[in-house]
A and B are shown apart, each in its own frame.
Chain A
Amino acid sequence: MRRDYLLYLVVASLCVLGIAAVYSVDPLREEGFWGRSFAGRQFLWNLAGWGMFILFRFADFQWFLKKSSIWYFLSVLALGAVLVFGESDETGAKRWLFSRSVQPSEIAKFAFLLFLSWYLSVNRDALGFWNLLVKSFFFTALPAFLIFLEPDLGTALVFGILWFGALLIGGWQAKKLGILSGMLFGLLPASWFFLKDYQRRRILAFLDPWQDPLGSGYNVVQSQIAIGAGGVLGQGWLSGKQTQLRFLPARYTDFIFASWCEQLGFVGGMVIICLFGVLFWVILDTATRARELEKQLFASLFGLMLLFQVGVNIGMNLGIAPVTGIPLPFVSYGGSSLFVYLACTGIVARIAWEVEEGEKRQWM
């Protein structure tokens, strides 16, 4: 099967599944599908998001790539604006602009992805030199630090992972990467002192959630209970007790996987994991087959970002990763993240199409 068709199918399935999942935990379900209900809004965002998908599928990828320093600059500005004009959410973190409709850190991910692919491919001759490493580190650290100040540790971490992944995929010497990761691990304990109190509590709660199951460990415990109580086949559509009685926090965003599993069980959970697995495979397959370095970098870095977010989000749902505010791509309620992912998959779909066409031409 052609990879680009497979990509459409998998992404569309994940989006539909996301709408269904949001619907199943929608506190405003009675408001109707078009009204103010969460599922309705998720549906509208999907429509707009697929518009983005089509735009990036047919637009000239190279043009976007060449202009990526502009996107990068704009996104850093937006992140700065968040810190100055931003609005806080329930946890007290400033993450939003324009009356909580846009989350610039999500947009910044996209811009950074383009920028990093472009920057490394332009400087491909310097790959493997410390000089480039320091420069690219600076470009990573700037948005990551701004996001860290919001604070949004999880998203800031995504930038770091992308940077490290870019070095890895860019063919950096294994020895140097080893030294680098050794240094980073060495700094890890020191980072404890820069964390906010609630972030520390989250990490402690991750290490032993049952220590304080009603306090800081509450999320982790309740989500595991929800998944476990689901069993093999789940408690049935719309009828998970953990979810419906609202023991599970952040049901339609961070912990949507847990509420999904409570309703549809191990089988339902495996459907999501397998869909992401296939998507990941298609993206990396496209990356290996692409001819140009910038396309390889973009596709594989996007694959890495997807892998990281899926791993952390599902991992925290399952109690094997610390709780960070990282949403589940395509599925979690929220527009910004959905737009960015659909735009990225649009680009990957274009690359896949180009690869298919290119290979076809080769044999003709």
Chain B
Amino acid sequence: MWSEEMGEKVRQRITLLFWLGILLFCVLSGRLWYLSVLRADWFRERSERNRVRVVFLQALRGNIYDRNGFCLAKDVPRFRLVFLVGSGQREDVLQRIKSILGKEVAFSLRERGAGEVVLLEDVPLEDVVKIEENRGALPGVLIETYPMRSYESGEVFAPVLGYVGRISAEELKTLGKMGYRAEDRVGKSGVEAFYESVLRGREGYRRVEVDALGRVVQVLDFRPPSFTHSLQLTIDAELQKVCYEALGKRNGVVIVGDPRNGEILAFVSKPSFDPNLFSRGVTAQEWLRLIQEASNPLLVRPIQALYPPGSLFKILVALAAQEEKVVAPRETFFCPGYLEYAGRRYLCWRRGGHGRVSFEEAIAQSCNVAFYTLGLRLGPEKIARYARMFGFGENPGLDLSGVNTGFLPTPEWKRETLKEIWYPGDTMNLSIGQGYLLVTPFEMYLLLCAVAGRGKVYNPHVLFRVIDAGGQVVQETKPYLRKVITLHSQTWDAVVRGMEKVVTQGTGFNCRGLPVKLAAKTGTAQNPQGREHSWFGGFFPSDNPRFVFLVLVEHGGDGSGEAAHVARRIIEWILRERGV
């Protein structure tokens, strides 16, 4: 029943409510204090991050030119669509983009940074125009330009230029300190990788104030991306193309260079790949196709592939034999088509035998029996010592990334690794460039350079000079004498004469009759996988060499055939277009 007591109780309850309310107001004030006084700086920074968006603009890379100023690689602008998460419904926007472009599109939807998704890359200009016209209907969609690497005649120059690709997670770990970002491109091989620090320019940025829909309200600050240096290579683009085409349908290697300063003029590896694929981002399918291809187009053959050198190695054995005086003046060798040693017959390539041959004729005819004999006289240790002297198994100091070295077998190695002793048969195989011996074509090229320079070996290089953005030359590669191999001049004379005779009387008959004195050597590398690899290398003019060349045709049969044909086409072009 209602009473005065109840009335008093009601007043008490109202007072209770009052104090509850006061408590609530205190809580609210306290929280307001906490947010806007204690943590104001932190929230102000968050607000700043909300409204100010820094868009980093990818650094440009310098151009790459050939020695005559022909542009081989440059950056071209491309467009991409970026979507700012939180400024609209993603599905709606995607639908609208589809209807605006009027076609099906495959969105990449790659997450980039905080709250940004790349919708489309490499958008064609007409689509960019359509999107730009419909900006109002696409909240949060930005059109961004970015540089893409473009290569002229990509396949021809890929082995020397290499390619660029998006930086990988591991690369970012090491390069992150140098200012690289997850979006950046980085040189992956060749010149692009070796001269990465020179080619990489300065990244730009755009600090913009955006509203909640991602629309740019104003640009606060802008710095355009730029490049600082371009490269000019020693490569002769026209010669490179001629060499590439000279190989025809064959796979193989061509290196042409100048022995007087170490410049590389042509550096061909075939089959090759199109580096433009990597610039625009290689798809998984394309990548699989490249790495599963049996001929391995990604392999830079001149410096990464290993081959038995075959008879080309006889040049080294001949030099060693002369220098060590294991061959007497005017000594002749008799070749019945085989050499019998310890009850076994070691065959010469010519079944009928060469008959009686002198030292120089042995080079010219590439007589195995003569070189078996010389090899046995020298012994494996001396051959290995001379090979090392000429740079086998040693980093050639070439300014390209991913340089391999060959393999030089020694008795010691065989004992330790194969647990077998070194037989004289191994020595004989070594002296004709077979057996365990493996070389990179570039090592053979350097041997030829050493002979052409009579022991003077210049550091091989592909960089001609560095040019700054204004076109001024800021650095030039000076010829650098890498080493001098001192042998008696009779040694050089005898071997060079032998190599001249290769062309005039011997196995290099395919190059006979050229209007220049040519010194060369053929090689036929036996190959368990199929037809022999065909080598042909040399230099001209032989009395004052200006060009060294090396041709390797995979599965080209013997060296007097395909490789010499290819070489002849190249030499003829050089004589006609560049003169000697």
Chain B binds chain A:
yes
Give the CA-CA distance A171 to B9 in the complex, in Å: 6
| Prevailing SS type, chain A contact patch | helix
Q: Residues of A within 8 Å of B, CB-based: how many? A: 52
Known: A229-B44, A232-B36. A284 touches B6 (CB 8 A): no
Give the CA-CA distance A245 to B210 in the complex, in Å: 7
Q: List A contacts of B29 (CB < 8 A).
A: 270, 273
Contact of A168 among B13, B86, B211 (CB under 8 A): B13
Is A327 on the interface with B (CB-CB < 8 A)? no
Chain A 224-240 interface mask (CB, 8 Å, partner B; 1/0): 11111111100000000
Give the CA-CA distance A162 to B43 in the complex, in Å: 36
Q: List B contacts of A315 (CB < 8 A).
A: 28, 31
Is the Cβ of B10 less than 8 Å from the Cβ of A293? yes
Known: A266-B33, A273-B29. A296 touches B14 (CB 8 A): yes
Give the CA-CA distance A143 to B33 in the complex, in Å: 38
Q: Which of A89-97, A192-200, A299-307 contacts B (4 or more CB under 8 A)?
A: A299-307
Chain B 11-27 interface mask (CB, 8 Å, partner A; 1/0): 10111111011101101
Known: A261-B36, A273-B32. A228 touches B13 (CB 8 A): no
Is the Cβ of B35 less than 8 Å from the Cβ of A246? no
Is A73 on the interface with B (CB-CB < 8 A)? no
Q: List B contacts of A319 (CB < 8 A).
A: 31, 35
Is A41 on the interface with B (CB-CB < 8 A)? no
Is B37 on the interface with A (CB-CB < 8 A)? yes
Is B47 on the interface with A (CB-CB < 8 A)? yes
Give the CA-CA distance A261 to B17 in the complex, in Å: 28
Q: Residues of B within 8 Å of A, CB-based: how many? A: 45
Q: List A contacts of B37 (CB < 8 A).
A: 231-232, 266
Closest to B31 in A: A318
Is the Cβ of B36 less than 8 Å from the Cβ of A228? yes
Give the CA-CA distance A298 to B401 in the complex, in Å: 87
Is the Cβ of A214 less than 8 Å from the Cβ of B10? no
Is the Cβ of B25 less than 8 Å from the Cβ of A266? no
Is the Cβ of A273 less than 8 Å from the Cβ of B2? no
Is the Cβ of A287 less than 8 Å from the Cβ of B14? yes
Is the Cβ of B51 less than 8 Å from the Cβ of A228? no
Is the Cβ of A225 less than 8 Å from the Cβ of B31? no
Give the CA-CA distance A127 to B3 in the complex, in Å: 11
Q: List B contacts of A288 (CB < 8 A).
A: 11, 14-15
Q: List A contacts of B28 (CB < 8 A).
A: 273, 311, 314-315, 318
Is B213 on the interface with A (CB-CB < 8 A)? yes
Q: List A contacts of B31 (CB < 8 A).
A: 315, 318-320
Give the CA-CA distance A307 to B27 in the complex, in Å: 13
Is B42 on the interface with A (CB-CB < 8 A)? yes
Q: List A contacts of B43 (CB < 8 A).
A: 224-225, 227-229
Is the Cβ of A247 less than 8 Å from the Cβ of B50? yes
Chain B 48-62 interface mask (CB, 8 Å, partner A; 1/0): 001100000000000
Tell me the A179-235 residues at the B interface (CB within 8 Å).
Answer: 214-215, 218, 222, 224-232
Closest to B20 in A: A307
Q: List 18 A-B contacts (CB under 8 A).
A: A168-B16, A214-B85, A225-B43, A225-B46, A229-B47, A230-B40, A245-B51, A248-B212, A266-B32, A273-B29, A273-B32, A280-B18, A284-B14, A296-B10, A296-B14, A307-B17, A307-B21, A318-B35
B residues neighboring A (CB under 8 Å): 1-2, 6-7, 9-11, 13-18, 20-22, 24-25, 27-29, 31-33, 35-37, 39-40, 42-44, 46-47, 50-51, 85-86, 115, 209-213, 217
A residues neighboring B (CB under 8 Å): 124-125, 127, 165, 168-171, 214-215, 218, 222, 224-232, 241-242, 245-248, 261, 265-266, 269-270, 273, 276-277, 280-281, 284, 287-288, 293, 296, 300, 303-304, 307, 311, 314-315, 318-320
